[in-house]
């Protein structure tokens, strides 16, 4: 859906998504425990000390600051769907 509506999933409401945090030494074990129970499961980040900077996300070698998106892009997609006769 995100690809279809060009929504960045990191700034959307992500309904149906569960994000967990675990101590680094338990992260791989947690992923293994969830294997077969969830559609996707990945280690997507790391909690760091506040002194290391604000909220950031890494895409390969590229690191970007996470900023509040304002209006969630989900609602733009919902408005478009409703204008096309969705949820009759």
pLDDT reported for residue 25: 92
Top-confidence residue, 16 or 35: 35
pLDDT by residue (tens digit) across 37-79?
A: 766 777 777 778 778 777 777 777 888 887 776 778 888 888 8
Which tokens hold the place of 13? 């409401």
In whole angstroms, what is the distance from residue 54 CA to residue 62 CA? 15
In whole angstroms, what is the distance from residue 68 CA to residue 12 CA? 10
Task: Specify the pTM.
Answer: 0.46
In whole angstroms, what is the distance from residue 76 CA to residue 83 CA? 11
Top-confidence residue, 60 or 86: 60
């Amino acid at each position: 859906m995100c690809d279809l509506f060009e929504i960045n999933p990191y700034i959307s409401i992500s309904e149906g998504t569960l994000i967990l945090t675990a101590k680094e030494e338990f992260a791989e074990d947690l992923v293994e425990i969830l294997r077969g129970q969830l559609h996707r499961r990945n280690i997507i980040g790391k909690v760091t000390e506040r002194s290391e900077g604000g909220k950031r996300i890494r895409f390969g070698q590229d690191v970007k600051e996470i900023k509040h998106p304002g209006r969630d892009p989900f609602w733009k997609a919902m408005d478009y769907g409703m204008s096309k006769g969705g949820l009759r």
